[in-house]
Amino acid sequence: MRKRISSRGILPGFGLTMGYALIYLSLLVLIPLSILFLKTSNMSWEQLWMTVTDQRVLVSFRVSFLTAFCAACVNAVFGVLVAWVLERYQFPGKRIIDGIVDLPFALPTAVAGIALASIYSENGWIGQIFASWGIKIAYTPIGIFIALTFIGLPFVVRTVQPVLQDWDRQIEEAARTLGATRLQTFLRVIVPYLLPAIMTGFALAFARALGEYGSVVFISGNMPLQTEIVPLLIMTKLEQFDYLGATAIASVMLIASFLMLLLINFLQWKTNKFDAAR
């Protein structure tokens, strides 16, 4: 009897639920991505290389990855700041601000793009101020960076917030009794504890920014070799009925994104392992 009980799964219905989970992931993730690579395999290596190394494609990759990385870095800093304020302080309108953080999740990306383009254009409320200084925001990489920062901020805030809720403040008091200043306590005690969550939020914001289309297409200007992002270039290829070219660019984008996420997850795993060993 004991042997029979121990051989059973801990969760009832594990085999059935696992089967449904695999089918669900296969239909939504694995099969579509496999078709993408299968479609790309119809191209020869020479055709694939010529497609992905075209100057217009390379510039689009640079614009997408650079602006997404910069936006994720900024969100990693200010997202922690916003999460810290929302968790540590009580002030009027806190619930409203807490709800505004989730606005990019619910707001249609096209609406966000139109709003950002209107505000940061040369005739907009904020854009005209910078225009008087000779700085153009809309229809430049700066505008793309702002749009990607806007849609990526909630990922960092909502990832760091639960970790701050579980933080034991007695550790801070112990650090202060040992002579640590507020800055030393934050940098040497709190930040290492938050680092895995920050890296996770950074990865989510970076991945979200790489695939963003709706909020960027209105503020970028869509100028080839200047402000054209990879998702827009893929759409352009599809409109020109160049399906092989579109799938080739999408495959490279997918592989690059996967490698970046894999690297970040590896660094996060090493950080957790190092913290557990201390």
pLDDT at residue number 11: 56
How many CB atoms sit inside 10 A of residue 276's CB?
7
Q: Sign of torsion, CA 114 119 123 127?
A: negative
| Distance of alpha carbon 59 from alpha carbon 228, whole angstroms | 8
- Asked if 70 and 141 touch (Cβ cutoff 8 Å), the reply is no
pLDDT at residue number 5: 45
Mean pLDDT of 84-101: 89
Return the percentage of the chain with pLDDT > 70, whole number: 91
| Distance of alpha carbon 262 from alpha carbon 264, whole angstroms | 5
How many CB atoms sit inside 10 A of residue 98's CB?
15
pLDDT above 80 for 110: yes
- Asked if 193 and 163 touch (Cβ cutoff 8 Å), the reply is yes
| Distance of alpha carbon 104 from alpha carbon 214, whole angstroms | 12
DSSP track, 66-123:
HHHHHHHHHHHHHHHHHHHHHHH---TTHHHHHHHHTHHHHS-HHHHHHHHHHHHSTT
pLDDT at residue number 1: 43
The pLDDT tens digits for 170-193 are: 888 888 888 888 888 888 888 888
Contact residues for 120 (Cβ-Cβ < 8 A; gap 6+)? 126, 127, 130, 137, 138, 143, 146, 219
The pLDDT tens digits for 2-29 are: 444 445 556 556 677 788 888 888 888 8
**Band of residue 223 on the pLDDT scale cut at 50, 70, 90:** confident
**Residue bearing the bigger pLDDT, 265 or 274:** 265
pLDDT at residue number 37: 83
**Band of residue 278 on the pLDDT scale cut at 50, 70, 90:** low
Our measurement of the distance from residue 207's CA atom to the centroid of its chain's CA atoms, rounded to an integer in Å, reads 4
Which residue is it, tokens 């392992």? Answer: 273
The pLDDT tens digits for 227-256 are: 889 999 999 888 888 888 899 999 988 888
C-alpha distances (whole Å) from 169 to each of 22, 69, 90, 176 are 41, 32, 16, 11
Token couple for 111: 């609406």
3-state helix, strand, coil in the chain (%, to 5): 80, 0, 20
Whole-prediction pTM value? 0.84
pLDDT at residue number 105: 85
Mean model confidence pLDDT for the chain:
85
Return the percentage of the chain with pLDDT > 90, whole number: 24
**Band of residue 152 on the pLDDT scale cut at 50, 70, 90:** very high
- The burial of 79, by beta-carbon neighbours within 10 Å (0-12 exposed, 13-18 middle, 19 or more buried), is given as buried
pLDDT above 70 for 51: yes
**Band of residue 76 on the pLDDT scale cut at 50, 70, 90:** very high
pLDDT at residue number 3: 47
Residue 7 three-state SS: helix
Token couple for 153: 């901020």
pLDDT above 90 for 156: yes
Contact residues for 230 (Cβ-Cβ < 8 A; gap 6+)? 57, 60, 61, 63, 64, 210, 249, 253
pLDDT above 80 for 99: yes
Looking at the chain, how many residues does it have? 278
